[in-house]
């Protein structure tokens, strides 16, 4: 029997350790004949320290849901809470990694990472040492004075991840950060991300439409249905941690990917 746990996407009782909670979140864009319902009745709890992927086809509302969680846009109804407090705007305790690296081309790698430190007027010396440690961890030592144009796409995304983590946020939100990378680099970045996450154990929410990526990274995968986006199914990932590339050949991994693909197509 396959060791795969699939739960029903009904509204769930919030555990004491819930870090993020979506309460009946709905989002509508436009008005009148141009009104579009993007998200409908999202109920979801994410526990502290979990790595959760939001999986779904293009246009199902994944990015919209993440931006609501970040406080970048408001829900039309419902709410998102972090530590039982409604999220209404971006805050220092939440890091965000975009689909593109969005590094400032006129700033060096180190200066890009330290940008949030400047914005919040924090101790620069302390955070500079921390940034250099991130660069070492990410295999970018020696590139601190390079500019984004001198880096590959994968290297740029490593810098953007370091920038998102420089203030030690308790929540890390990632919007398909590896979508523009080639398959080999993408798998390498998946492993790098897990290595970084294993050190911080921050609560992570990762947007993707790649089934294998979701299964490899996550503790749970939340599948959104087609527009309007709603929680269609939730998959628990039983693979042990730490994970390596070899786990992609594990029979449980293969079965999970197949089940998620069938659920997406249903």
Nearest-angstrom CA–CA distance, 258 and 69: 29
Q: What percent of the chain has pLDDT over 90?
A: 74
For residue 41, count other CB atoms closer than 10 A to its CB: 16
In angstroms, the Cα distances linking 135 to 87, 125, 152 are 31, 16, 15
- pLDDT of 165 higher than 60: yes
Indicate the CATH number of 5-93+170-265 among 3.40.50.300, 3.90.1300.10, 3.40.718.10, 3.30.360.10: 3.40.50.300
According to the model, what pLDDT value does residue 91 have?
87
The mean-pLDDT minimum among 14-23, 66-75, 110-119 falls in 14-23
Query: Within 13 Å and on the Cβ side, how many CA atoms surround 116?
Result: 23
Q: What is the DSSP letter of 107?
A: S
**Average pLDDT score over residue span 98-112:** 94
Task: Tell me: cis bond preceding 121? Omega within 30 of 0 counts.
Answer: no
**Average pLDDT score over residue span 208-228:** 94
- pLDDT of 2 higher than 50: no
In tens, the pLDDT along 172-211 reads 999 999 988 888 889 988 998 998 898 888 999 999 999 9
Nearest-angstrom CA–CA distance, 254 and 52: 19
Domain spans of the chain, in order of start: 5-93+170-265, 99-168
- pLDDT of 78 higher than 80: yes
**Average pLDDT score over residue span 231-256:** 93
- pLDDT of 15 higher than 80: no
**Average pLDDT score over residue span 64-81:** 96
According to the model, what pLDDT value does residue 100 have?
86
According to the model, what pLDDT value does residue 1 have?
41
Continuous H helices in 10-151: 62-70, 109-113, 115-119, 124-137
* Burial tier of 242 (Cβ tally within 10 Å: 0-12, 13-18, 19+): exposed
Average pLDDT over all residues of the chain: 90
Residue 5's pLDDT band, with cuts at 50, 70 and 90, is very low
What is the value of pTM for the model shown?
Answer: 0.88
């Amino acid at each position: 029997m396959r060791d795969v746990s699939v739960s029903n996407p009904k509204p769930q009782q919030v555990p004491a350790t819930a870090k993020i909670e979506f309460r009946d979140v709905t989002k509508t864009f436009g008005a009148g004949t141009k009104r579009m319902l993007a998200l409908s009745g999202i109920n979801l709890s994410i526990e502290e320290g979990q790595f959760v992927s939001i999986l779904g086809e293009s246009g199902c509302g994944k990015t919209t849901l993440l931006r609501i969680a970040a406080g970048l846009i408001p829900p039309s109804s419902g709410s998102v809470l972090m530590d039982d407090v409604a999220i209404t705007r971006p805050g220092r305790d939440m890091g965000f990694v975009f689909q593109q690296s969005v590094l400032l081309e006129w700033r060096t790698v180190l200066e890009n990472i330290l940008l949030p430190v400047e914005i919040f007027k924090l101790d620069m010396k302390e955070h500079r040492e921390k940034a250099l440690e991130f660069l070492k961890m990410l295999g970018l030592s020696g590139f601190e004075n390079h500019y984004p144009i001198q880096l590959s796409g994968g290297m740029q995304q490593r810098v953007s991840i370091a920038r998102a983590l420089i203030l030690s946020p308790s929540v890390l939100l990632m919007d398909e950060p590896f979508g523009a990378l080639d398959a080999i680099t993408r798998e390498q970045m998946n492993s790098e991300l897990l290595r970084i996450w294993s050190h911080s154990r921050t609560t992570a929410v990762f947007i993707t439409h790649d089934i294998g990526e979701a299964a490899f990274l996550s503790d749970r995968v939340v599948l959104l249905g087609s527009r309007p986006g709603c929680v269609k199914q939730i998959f628990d990932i039983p693979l042990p941690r730490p994970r390596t590339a070899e786990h992609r050949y594990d029979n449980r991994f293969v079965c999970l990917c197949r089940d998620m693909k069938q659920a997406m197509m249903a």
